[in-house]
Structure 1
C-alpha cells in the first residue's frame, strides 16, 4: 500500500520483528499453560478466557509501546529517512498485526491444542529456576546496594559511549572499487581515453587474481553529471573472496599513482560516491565547501586549509577540486578601433559565434530534414593566430582582421564554476582512515577557525558523512524525547500510576548497558544504525518490565497479606519462562543480521550488535534488578489497588 520495496532495510525490519512478533503470543500461551496445570478442575474454556484476559492489558500496551518507539523514525528525512523509515514501518505494522493474533487467534488455538500436564516445568526450566532463586534472593536482600552499583555502571558506560567515535553509517563493502582519475585541466578527450585504456590494461595485467573486470569512462555522459574531458572514472569489479578491501584499495592506489604520475587517483566505491554526489554534490565521504565570489580567493583559501589540517591524525588524503588552469581565449573589444571602422560589438560577437562557436550561418533543406551550415575557422581553438586573422567586412567594403578590432590573449581561467545558494564554491574532499569522522571534523574545524582568517563574504561548510550525521542526530534529539513522553503516557494509561511508569522506565538502562558494552567491545563507532538498535532495546526492556510488573501487581491483588519479598520471589520465578522465551526468540531473530556477510550487511551490523548485547543484559538485569527496585518502591505499601479489598480475589497462600 505504501509502495515499500523488498530491499535490504525493509527486510531488516522484518528480521528484527520476527523475534518480537511472538512476544505477545508467548505471554498468552505461557499463562494459559500454567493455569491449566495449576487449576485442572476449572472448565478449560473458562480457564483460557480468564488467562487471556489476565494478560491482555499488559500485552496490548507492551505491543503499542514497541510500535510507539519506532513510529517517530518515520519522521526522519534525507538519507537516514530513506534507509530507516521502511524498516520502522515494517516493524510497526508487524507488531500491530501480532497483537490481534495474540489476543484473538492464539486463545482459540490454545483451547484446541493445549492440555493439562502433570509437571509445570521441564528439566531445563527446573534447573534454571534452581540457579535463579538464590541469585534473586541475594538481589532482594541487597536491593539498594545493587541498584546503586548498576546505576554507577550505567553512568560509567554512558561516559565511555560519549568517548566512542561517531559516524553517519559504516562504510559499505560493495565488492567493487571505483577510481576517480583527474588529469590537468585542458586535457583533450583523446588523451583521457588513452590514459583510461592504459589504466585498464595495467590493472588487468597486475591484479588478475583480484579483479574480474574493468570499465572506464572519460568526460561526461549525456545524461550524467557535469564533468570535463580531463575527468575519468575506472570501475573495478572484484572477484569473490576479497577479505580486506581497504588494504587492497590502498595497495592498488599506491601502484597506480607510481605508474601514472601525470594524473591523480581518488579511490571510492560506486554506490557510496553516487549517494554523496546526489545529497551534497560532492564525490567524497567527507569534504569542505569553501564559499565566496572570487575564484582566485577560493583557490588561495583551499591551499591554506590544506596546509593547516595536513597533520591532523586520521587524514589519509586530500584533493582540491582544480577549477583554475583551463587555457581560455580572451577577446576584449577595442572600442576606438570599432568606431574607426564603423563595426559594432554585435558584429564582432556574431563572427566569433560563427567561426569559433560553430553557430550555423544558414540551413540546407532536404525534404522534411534541415541541416545547419557551419562555417568554422580551422584550428581556431588550437591556434590563436587563426583567431586573430579572422576577417570582417566594413560598411565601405574594406576587410579588417579581428586583431585590428580586439585585444586577443590566452589566459588561464576556471574550467568550470559551481554555485550553491547564489554563491560560488570550491570543494576540498578528503578521506579519513583509522579515526571516526566526528572527532576528525571537530579537531580540523578548530584548527581552521584558529589559524585562518576568512575574508568578508567567505566561509566554509562541511559536507558528506559529517553533515548527514549532524542532520540525523539533530532530528533524533527531537524524536527521542517525544518518544519517551509517549511511552510514559502509555505506561500511565496502563497502570494508572506514574510511579509504575517510572519503575518500568528504570528497566531501560538495564538493556542499554549490554548494548553499550557490545558496541565498545566490537570497536564499532556510534552511528544512526546503532542508535536505531538502542531504540529497539528500549522497546524490549519496556516489554520485559510490563510483563513482570503487571504480574507482580496481579499477585498483590490476590495475596495482599503475603510479605512483599516472598511475593516478588514467586512472581519472578513464575515469569522466568516467558521472559526468557521472549528474549531468546528476539535473539534468534537478530542472529542472521549479526552474522550476515553479503553486500550491505555493514549497515545492519551495528544495529544487530547493540540489540544482541542489550537483550542479554536486559533479560538478566530485569530478572534481578527490577524486583529489587520494586521492593524499594513499595516495601512500605501493603495494598496496591482498591481491588485488593475484594474478598473474592484474595487467597491465603501463594501458588
Structure 2
C-alpha cells in the first residue's frame, strides 16, 4: 500500500507533466506505427537454407553435377551439412516440383542461424561471378509453418506485361530490360528462368520448288519426333494417349534420315519421289520462358526483389525504367503490399473494437464521458507497446498485433473496476480525492494479480528456442510491455484524468 500511496501522491503533485505525457501518447503512437517495421509473420531464426538454381543454359546433366559439386566445396567451412538434387528426380510420390536437366536444388545446414547470411552472400557471389545467366533463389525448408504462412515471398514483384497483347515476349528484350532495371535500382532482381529450345521452321519457298505439301511435312515431323498419337485409352476419368515412337536420335540426324513424299507434277509419271526433311526445314536455336505466370489481368513476367529496404523508392525507379520502354507495361505486388493491406485490416478491426467497447461502457456507466476516460488508456498502452517492440528489434506483425490488442482489452478491465469503485464511493458521499485513494486501495491487489498472472504466463516463451516459441515471442513481448505499462496507467494516470474532469463538479457540490 505504501508504494501506491507514494505513487498517487507523486502523480497528483505533477499533474501537468502527467497529463501532457498522456496527451503526447497519441502522436507517439502514430509515429511508432510509421517507424516500426511491418511484416506478415514474425521472422524465425533458421539454420537451414534451400537454394534453387536454374542455370539458364542448355547443359548436360554431368555439367550440372560438376557445377553443383564446385558450389558445395566452396561452402565446406561454413556449413555442417549439405546435399543437393541435380536434374530430374524419379519419385512417384514427390510430384510437387519436377526439376529439369538444367536445374539444381541445394540444401545447407549451418551450426547457428547467424551463419545463414554469410552463406547466402557467398553463394550469390559465386553464382553471379561464374554464371551470370543463372537464376538463383533462396528459401527456408518447406515445413508446416511455411506451408501455412509462406514467409519466403519477395518484398516487391514487378509484373511485366507486353504492351501489345497479341505478341509474345522475346527473351533478348526481357534480359535487356532486367539489366536496365538492375542499373536503375542498384539491386539485382531474381533472374527470369528461360529454357533453350530448337524451333523447326518450314521453308515454304522450297516446298514450292520440290512440290511438297505443307500438311504432309507437318505429319512427317510429328511422326519423326514421336508426337504421332494413334489412339487413346479411356478408363473412367483417366486418358492415356497411345503414340508411335522410335529410337533416340539427334535433331539433325532425324531431319537427314526422314523423307517426305513429293508430288510429281512435271512428267505425270506415277513414280514416287522423296525429299529429305533437311532440305525443307531449318533448325533455329531459341529461348523461351520456362514458366508462365497469370493473374487477374492476364499473363505476366514476375521480376522479384528480396531484401528491399525502401520499397516505395524501388517501385518508382522500376516504373520509370519500364515506362521509358514503350513495349512493356508494369504493375506491382509482393509482401510489401500484402503487409500494408494486413495492417490496414488490423487498424479497422481495432477501431471497430474500440467503438463497440465504447457503446457497451456507455450502457454500463450510464454516461458518455466516463467511457472516454477508460478508453484514454488504449493509445498510451499501444504507444509504449510499440516502443518496446521497436527497442527489442521486433516488427509489427500479426502475432505482435494480437498481443497488443489482447493486452489492451485486459488492462481496460482494470480501469473499469477502478472507475466503478470510485463512482460507488462518490454516491455514498465520499469526497473525490478520498474516493480515488480508497478505490485504489480496494482494487490494488486484484489489478496487480491480474497483470502479474498474465505476465508470468508469457515469460517462459522468452527463454525457449523452438519454432512455436519463436513464433509467439513477439506476442509475449507485446503483451508483457503493454500489460506493465497498462498497470501503471490504470493505477495512477486514469484516476488523475478522472479527477481532472470531475474536480469542478465536486467543488460545486461541496
Same fold (TM over 0.5): yes
| 1: CA distance, partners of 2:48 / 2:424 | 59
- Distance change >3 Å, CA 302–CA 200, structure 1 → 2: closer
What CA deviation, in whole Å up to 9, does each residue of 1:142-173 have, x standing for no partner? Answer: 43542122222452353244223333333322
Q: 1:300 aligned to 149, 157, 176, which one?
A: 176
Residue 193 of structure 1, CA deviation: 4.0
Q: 2:284 aligned to 410, 417, 425, which one?
A: 410
Is contact 2:59-2:102 (8 Å) kept?
yes
| 2: CA distance, partners of 1:177 / 1:273 | 16
The reply to whether residue 353 of structure 1 matches residue 226 of structure 2 is no
Q: 1:164 aligned to 36, 59, 80, which one?
A: 36
Q: 2:459 aligned to 591, 594, 602, which one?
A: 591
What CA deviation, in whole Å up to 9, does each residue of 1:331-363 have, x standing for no partner? Answer: 2341x5445655433322222122124546699
| 1: CA distance, partners of 2:351 / 2:328 | 37
SS at match of 2:504: coil
- Distance change >3 Å, CA 477–CA 155, structure 1 → 2: closer
The reply to whether residue 291 of structure 1 matches residue 161 of structure 2 is yes
| 1: CA distance, partners of 2:103 / 2:155 | 19
Q: 1:218 aligned to 77, 80, 87, which one?
A: 87
Other-structure match for 1:522? 392
| 2: CA distance, partners of 1:255 / 1:419 | 28
SS at match of 1:169: coil
- Distance change >3 Å, CA 503–CA 468, structure 1 → 2: same
Is contact 2:54-2:193 (8 Å) kept?
no
- Distance change >3 Å, CA 464–CA 605, structure 1 → 2: farther
Is contact 1:290-1:459 (8 Å) kept?
yes
Is contact 2:52-2:138 (8 Å) kept?
yes
The 5 Å alignment of 1:29-428 reads 129-156=1-28, 158-197=30-69, 199-200=71-72, 203=75, 205-207=76-78, 210-219=79-88, 223-225=95-97, 227-239=99-111, 242-250=112-120, 252-253=122-123, 257=127, 265-271=136-142, 275=146, 284=154, 286-292=156-162, 293=165, 294-296=168-170, 297-310=173-186, 317-323=188-194, 326-334=196-204, 336-338=205-207, 343-359=212-228, 373-375=244-246, 378-380=249-251, 384=252, 386-387=254-255, 389-394=257-262, 396=270, 397-406=272-281, 408-421=282-295, 423-428=298-303
Residue 272 of structure 1, CA deviation: 8.4
SS at match of 2:101: coil
The reply to whether residue 555 of structure 1 matches residue 425 of structure 2 is yes
Is contact 1:140-1:627 (8 Å) kept?
no
The reply to whether residue 631 of structure 1 matches residue 484 of structure 2 is no
- Distance change >3 Å, CA 132–CA 629, structure 1 → 2: same
TM-score, normalised with respect to structure 1: 0.66
Residue 504 of structure 1, CA deviation: 0.8
Other-structure match for 1:538? 408
* Unpaired runs of at least 5, structure 1: 1-128, 364-368, 640-655
Q: Give the paired residue count.
A: 482
The structure carrying a bigger helix percent of its residues is: 1
Other-structure match for 1:512? 382
Residue 566 of structure 1, CA deviation: 0.7
| 2: CA distance, partners of 1:511 / 1:283 | 32
Is contact 1:583-1:615 (8 Å) kept?
yes
Is contact 1:157-1:513 (8 Å) kept?
yes
| 2: CA distance, partners of 1:275 / 1:346 | 51
- Distance change >3 Å, CA 638–CA 284, structure 1 → 2: closer
Is contact 1:507-1:626 (8 Å) kept?
yes
What CA deviation, in whole Å up to 9, does each residue of 1:502-534 have, x standing for no partner? Answer: 111001123223312212211223333322222
Residue 485 of structure 1, CA deviation: 1.8
| 2: CA distance, partners of 1:277 / 1:428 | 24
| 1: CA distance, partners of 2:208 / 2:127 | 55
Is contact 1:143-1:625 (8 Å) kept?
no
Q: 2:338 aligned to 445, 465, 468, which one?
A: 468
Other-structure match for 1:572? 440
| 2: CA distance, partners of 1:450 / 1:238 | 41
Residue 583 of structure 1, CA deviation: 0.7
Residue 549 of structure 1, CA deviation: 1.4
Is contact 1:417-1:424 (8 Å) kept?
no
Give the aligned CA root-mean-square deviation in angstroms: 3.5
SS at match of 2:465: coil
- Distance change >3 Å, CA 589–CA 461, structure 1 → 2: farther
- Distance change >3 Å, CA 260–CA 340, structure 1 → 2: closer
Is contact 2:389-2:478 (8 Å) kept?
yes
| 2: CA distance, partners of 1:415 / 1:162 | 40
| 2: CA distance, partners of 1:601 / 1:187 | 45
- Distance change >3 Å, CA 155–CA 492, structure 1 → 2: same
- Distance change >3 Å, CA 345–CA 376, structure 1 → 2: farther
Is contact 2:181-2:321 (8 Å) kept?
no
